[in-house]
Structure 1
């Protein structure tokens, strides 16, 4: 049992380090290919235009999702702050966890946007840049999800002790 716990802690330490190392390696690679002017077909041109609009729509969706969550979070916090309820002690934690979940969703939207932008006739450098961006956002998402899980576990552990006080 103890070895399983140490193995899990080792994995939670090594995974982010491996992701950071991969990010550094991807960013340090600079593929200089003599990209000769290649001809694009009309279909490829139209696909690039359509995919560009889809990627822009995905970025707008990410901004709307995150912006709405921020406004809702501020409103919920202010409501709990000015209410005379005794549940104010974990108000910031609840708002923070809700905002964290939405930020993770917003990160997924932005990753989808980057993938869309690279979907039509990418160069090697485009693929490396996409890899670095996806790796960075995955790393951010990993830490965000971990923080959310820890916050939810703290809330569950604190809830029975608070109910005993009442």
Structure 2
């Protein structure tokens, strides 16, 4: 089981480093256009308008999801703060994990919005910008998911851990 653990730790180290290096590379590239004006068809113009509304709707959905989770998290935390529970730390960790899950969902919505905005007649620079944005959000999502998994493992009761070892 040792080789598997060392391989997993190597992947956990190399994946974020590769994502960060890719992000730096994409942000350092700047492709200038050829200077030629590209003609757009009426269909392309309509598609851009429709996709723009869809992308805006996706961004609004992300804001609603994240905003609702923040309000719900604040309400749950205030209930915990004013209750006389002795499990304050464990319950606070639960609120934190719940908010983390919703933030990951909100990041997925914003990635979808960026993809929609680049869907109709993208330039090379648009594609590079999309790649950098998606890479950055994927990196954020990776660390957020890893933190959530570690938090959920910490929340497991001790007796269940003892039973799984036996």
TM range (shorter): over 0.9
Q: Which residue of 1 aligns with 2:150?
A: 150
Q: Which residue of 2 aligns with 1:53?
A: 53
Q: Which residue of 2 aligns with 1:131?
A: 131
Q: Which residue of 1 aligns with 2:40?
A: 40
Unaligned runs of 5+ in 1: 162-166
Equivalent-residue separation in structure 1 for 2:8 and 2:152 (angstroms): 19
Asked if 1:70 corresponds to 2:70, the answer is yes
Q: Which residue of 2 aligns with 1:88?
A: 88
Equivalent-residue separation in structure 2 for 1:83 and 1:59 (angstroms): 36
Asked if 1:13 corresponds to 2:9, the answer is no
Equivalent-residue separation in structure 2 for 1:44 and 1:121 (angstroms): 8
Q: Which residue of 1 aligns with 2:2?
A: 2
TM-score, length basis structure 1? 0.93
Residues 81 and 160 of structure 1: CA distance in aligned 2, closer, same or farther (over 3 Å): farther
Deviation readout 1:118-139 (Å, 9 max, x if unpaired): 0000000000000000000000
Deviation at 1:160, TM superposition (A): 6.0
List structure 1 runs of 4+ shifted beyond 3 angstroms: 157-161
Deviation at 1:14, TM superposition (A): 0.2
Residues 5 and 160 of structure 1: CA distance in aligned 2, closer, same or farther (over 3 Å): closer
Matches within 5 A, 1:90-129: 90-129=90-129
Q: Which residue of 2 aligns with 1:164?
A: none
Pairs aligned (count): 161
TM-score, length basis structure 2? 0.93
Unaligned runs of 5+ in 2: 162-166
